[in-house]
Amino acid sequence: MNHNAGRVIRAMLAWDYTRLNSCEQRYETLIGDFETEAFSSVVAHLGFASLALKICREKFVNNSLFGGLRTRGTTHIRCGNKEQWKNVFDLSLARKFLAEFGTALIDLGYESDDAWIDACATRFDRAQVL
């Protein structure tokens, strides 16, 4: 939270999501974009023609976690699963996140309320019992 992740979260919070000249896609969408539909909408937005679109889609798959990237043994990616934080945050970390970023999870559409904090406490309690 104090390094790259924090910078990314702050940038996401500061981004103007009403910009008409932008084409946003969520990581959660792209990580499962096996048919390259979401990715293709970005490439089309950028103005690539039909032949280039095909090449772009091939490159996307070859460099995606569900495609060629996973088999090349990249070292900087821990895991490609979406919503990893739900399995990692204990109550202490959840409180630190809340103190640092406030309602970021709600503002960015990942949660609808602060009940996620209670879920972190519940997971943490179960882990202690096991």
Q: What is the pLDDT of residue 51?
A: 87
Q: What is the pLDDT of residue 125?
A: 56
Buried b (16+ CB within 10 A) or exposed e, 55-74: ebbeebbeebeebeeeeeee
Q: Is 94 exposed, middle or buried (0-12, 13-18, 19+ CB in 10 A)?
A: buried
**Chain segment 56-109, per-residue pLDDT in tens:** 999 998 888 777 666 665 555 666 677 777 778 888 889 999 999 999 999 999
pTM: 0.72
